[in-house]
Amino acid sequence: MPVPPAPSSPASGVHLLPGRPPVLLAEPTGDAAGWAAGYRDTLRSLVAEYGAVLVRGLGLRDADQAGAVFRHLATGLLTEKEAFAPRREYADGVYSSTKWPAGQPMCMHHELSYTLTAPGLLLFACLTAPDSGGATALADAPTVLDALPAELAERFEREGWLLTRSYNDEVGATFAEAFGTDDRRAVERYCRGHAIDFAWQPGGGLRTRQRRSAVVRHPVSGRRCWFNQIAFLNEWTMEPEVREYLVDVYGADALPFNTRYGGGDPIGEDVVRLLNTVYEAHTTREPWQAGDLMLVDNVRTAHSREPYEGPRDVLVAMTDAVLLTACR
């Protein structure tokens, strides 16, 4: 969808339209990496102001070009650990989007919010836009927190949330893909060093549990942010037939991933539905166009991936590591 010719915010040059993320038009120069290097501080300032910015007009065409842009904008690209689903790695720190069925949404979440060190900034590049759908939609985390029922928000803030995972070779990332090694002793060392309880299963599988904060303070602004993957990784967000199949195959207590209150109590379907409804009420979206670049503050801004049709090729990189224990 074309952006109006005149920016609504002349001071920043950003187009601000209801229901859409901020959009900055870039003059095509044929040198996207050079443009990114020159506008690095401007783009980071826009992200600090708005929580995200979509850059249109760079004409990003391939992984090499996108990677060069990412490296100019980053403080150093991060290697993903504890992935919940596999990705293709094009170069160090340059990944494909998470492999997820095209017809199923990836609900709002904050990338790697179940780790102890999460990316503070996400970088996306759209090389191929889908025929329909597939937007990387956004939601402001402080606004979402304020919109939640006070009693529910206070409970999650008090208890945190619990992520349980049962690694296997069929659904999601294997433990070797998640931890970057199939050496059990190395996996155990990582878990002990990152506050993850673990247990090896008789068939060679791995089960883990980790308790994390559901609300954190932004490392720069200090604003309280709803920061987690409580709804996205919960069983009640799955399509009913998918959930029924997984329960039948693995059992209710050994799903590939699930979330609970930090004290261990199950989270009801009504709570998950409420969380997703609040997210949707505060969602902004702009359909991808081939060549787009987007920067997202991963602490302040949740993101999702909507169902789509046709080929979709969106690359992602992560930077600006945030130690979450310092943000409680």
**CATH number, position 130:** 3.60.130.10
Residue 229 DSSP symbol: -
3 pLDDT above the threshold of 60: no
**Are residues 148 and 244 both part of a single domain?**
yes
Residue 326 DSSP symbol: G
229 with 113: CB under 8 angstroms? yes
Number of domains in the chain: 2
* Confidence band for 183, pLDDT divided at 50, 70 and 90: very high
Q: What DSSP string runs through 11-68?
A: TTTEE--TTS--EEE----S-HHHHHHHTHHHHHHHHHHHSEEEEES----SHHHHHH
The string of pLDDT tens digits covering residues 208-229 is 999 999 999 999 999 999 999 9
Q: Is residue 164 part of a domain?
A: yes
Backbone angles phi, psi at 74, to 5 degrees: -90, 165
Q: Is residue 8 part of a domain?
A: no
pTM over 0.85: yes
- Structural domain range at position 215: 143-277
**Are residues 204 and 231 both part of a single domain?**
yes
By percentage, how much of the chain surpasses pLDDT 90? 83
